[in-house]
Amino acid sequence: MMYFELLLLGLLVICGITTCLSKNLLTSLIIFMAYSVIMSVIWALLEAPDLAVTEAAVGAGVSSLLLFLTLRKLKSIQRKEEENEKKP
């Protein structure tokens, strides 16, 4: 159990650093999702099951979904801009 905890903590730090450093926004969002899942497992290990369930549903689910939707929306705005510039 100790090694499992250490592995999770190491993965957490690695996920945090790669989220900060990755160039592509989509990649960093996916790594952030993984970060949330690892965090929820750590909370389950810390004997806080309420927090684990909530973080898995909110942090990894809805929060990441909203980030993805924003990225998609920004992309569509960008594409539309390009089309508008081509037209005239």
Partner 1 sequence: MMERIWDERIQIVAVILFTIGFCTLLVHKNLLKKIIGLNIMDTASYLLLTSMGYVEGRLAPIIRGGNTDPSAYVNPLPAGLVLTGIVVSVSVTALLLALTIRLYRHYHSLDLDKIYELAAKEDQNER
Partner 2 sequence: MKRSLKELFREWDADRFDLSVSGSVPQKERPSPLPPERYDVIPELEETIMRRFHRVVPVLTFLLGLTLSLFLIMTVLELPAFGSSDSPVFNEVFTRYVQDGTEETGAVNTVAGVILDYRAFDTLGETHVLYTALVAVLILLLGFEKTDPGIRTPGYEVIRQDPVLTTCAKLVIPCVVIYGLYIICNGHLGPGGGFCGGTVIGSALILAALAFGFDSVERFVNYRTIRVVLVIALCFYSLSKGYSFFCGANGIESGIRPGTPGRIFSAGLILPLNAAVGVVVSCTMYSLYSVFRRGRL
Residue 1 site contact among partner 2, partner 1, none (CB < 5 to 8 Å, cut-off depends on kind): none
Find the shortest distance in angstroms from Cβ 1 to partner 2: 13
Residue 37 burial (CB < 10 Å; 0-12/13-18/19+)? Answer: middle
Q: In the window 36-65, what residues touch partner 2 (CB under 8 A)?
A: 49-50, 52-54, 56-58, 61-62, 65
Residues contributing to the site for partner 2 (CB under 8 A):
21, 23-27, 49-50, 52-54, 56-58, 61-62, 65-66, 69-71, 73-84
